[in-house]
């Protein structure tokens, strides 16, 4: 069963330099029916103006990853890590016992569009760490590429949770099928474009909770970029 979460129903914030849509409750957006799903706590769809960004701020006991769609995002943290994240890059920061970081638009001329996603970890107080990997368009074209997993399989980033994240690009006749293990939930987020999932059309910003399905089939994409989360069969996130 697919339960659709329409893009138009998301929370919205406009701070001038930052325009953000919140799939789940975040900051000033509060929706008692949207408090996350399984171990997935946050999906923020952020657009940051040229030269602007988030100053240094702390996190702990959270798996936070950034997925850039357009532009370039500059990251610095108290682990001594500094990098620029561009389309195709996936950055995962495991905050663990505590880390502070900043995120700024790397460009002084054009905006940056990215997703920031939080997954609740399965352990508290772990050593903070940072990972970044590039996944090419060819790796994602017409298929679901594993980008995050609990064991770092197939070159994916290692998350401290029983969760897997796939990314795919679909256009025209390109299709992909993902088998779903028994007693697993999925969450699907369309980052851009549109695509059919098991015959239902999802558009940019739409999401869907998937329960009691043994397979999902993606087809009829129109310049679609999609993230698929394979999650434990829980309804709401719980901190370790």
33: domain CATH number is: 2.60.120.10
What pLDDT, in 10s, does the model give residues 66-79? 999 999 998 777 77
CA 203 to CA 33: how far, in whole Å?
21
Q: Which residues of 166-199 are buried (b: 16+ CB within 10 A; e: fewer)?
A: bbbbbeeebebebebeeebbbbbbbbbbbbbbee
Strand-pair partners of 68: 114
In this prediction, residue 102 has a pLDDT band, given cuts at 50, 70 and 90, of confident
HEC sequence for 180-237: CCCCCEEEEEEEEEEEEECCEEEECCCEEEECCCCEEEEEEEEEEEEEEEEECCCCCC
Residue 221 resides in a domain? yes
Residue 240 resides in a domain? no
DSSP secondary structure code for residue 126 in this structure: P
158 is in an annotated binding site: no
Quote the pLDDT of residue 100: 81
Residue 148 resides in a domain? yes
Q: What's the whole-number average pLDDT of the chain? A: 94
Quote the pLDDT of residue 67: 96
CA 113 to CA 207: how far, in whole Å?
18
Residue 168 resides in a domain? yes
Percentage of the chain with pLDDT > 70?
100
CA 180 to CA 169: how far, in whole Å?
20
How are beta strands 145-149 and 157-158 bridged, if at all?
A: parallel
What pLDDT, in 10s, does the model give residues 29-40? 999 999 999 999
Top-confidence residue, 57 or 43: 43
Residue 52 resides in a domain? yes
Quote the pLDDT of residue 108: 87
59 is in an annotated binding site: yes
CA 56 to CA 207: how far, in whole Å?
30
Residue 107 above 90 pLDDT?
Answer: no
CA 146 to CA 161: how far, in whole Å?
15
Quote the pLDDT of residue 163: 98
Residue 72 resides in a domain? yes
Contact 118, 64 (CB under 8 A): yes
Contact 45, 86 (CB under 8 A): no
57 is in an annotated binding site: yes
Domain count, the chain: 1
Contact 208, 187 (CB under 8 A): yes
Which residues fall within 8 angstroms of residue 152, CB to CB, at 6 or more apart? 158
Residue 238 resides in a domain? no
Top-confidence residue, 95 or 235: 235
What pLDDT, in 10s, does the model give residues 149-206? 999 999 999 999 999 999 999 999 999 999 999 999 999 999 999 999 999 999 999 9
Residue 236 resides in a domain? no
Percentage of the chain with pLDDT > 90?
82
What pLDDT, in 10s, does the model give residues 9-36? 999 999 998 999 999 999 999 999 999 9
Whole-prediction pTM value? Answer: 0.96
Residue 99 above 90 pLDDT?
Answer: no
CA 219 to CA 200: how far, in whole Å?
10
234 is in an annotated binding site: no
Mean pLDDT of 117-140: 96
The CA-based angle 92-3-70, given to 5 degrees, is 35
Give me the domain span that covers residue 192: 2-231
């Amino acid at each position: 069963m697919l339960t659709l979460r329409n893009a138009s129903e998301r929370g919205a914030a406009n701070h001038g330099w930052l325009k953000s849509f919140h799939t789940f409750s975040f900051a000033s957006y509060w929706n008692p029916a949207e408090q996350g799903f399984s171990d997935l706590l946050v999906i923020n769809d952020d657009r940051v103006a040229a030269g602007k960004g988030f100053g240094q701020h702390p996190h702990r006991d959270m798996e936070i990853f950034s997925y850039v769609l357009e532009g370039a995002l500059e990251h610095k943290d108290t682990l001594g890590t500094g990098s620029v994240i561009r389309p195709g890059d996936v950055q995962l920061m495991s905050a663990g016992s505590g880390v502070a970081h900043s995120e700024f638009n790397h460009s002084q001329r054009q905006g940056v569009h990215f997703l920031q996603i939080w997954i609740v970890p399965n352990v508290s107080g772990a050593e903070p760490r940072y990972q970044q990997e590039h996944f090419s368009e060819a790796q994602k074209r017409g298929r679901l590429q594993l980008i995050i997993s609990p064991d770092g399989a197939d070159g994916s980033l290692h998350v401290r949770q029983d969760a897997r994240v796939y990314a795919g690009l679909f256009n025209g006749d390109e299709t992909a099928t993902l088998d779903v293990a028994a007693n697993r939930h999925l969450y699907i987020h369309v980052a851009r474009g549109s695509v059919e999932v098991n015959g239902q059309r999802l558009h940019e910003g739409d999401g869907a909770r998937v329960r009691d399905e043994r397979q999902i089939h993606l087809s009829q994409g129109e310049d679609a970029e999609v993230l698929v989360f394979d999650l434990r069969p829980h309804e709401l996130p719980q901190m370790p």
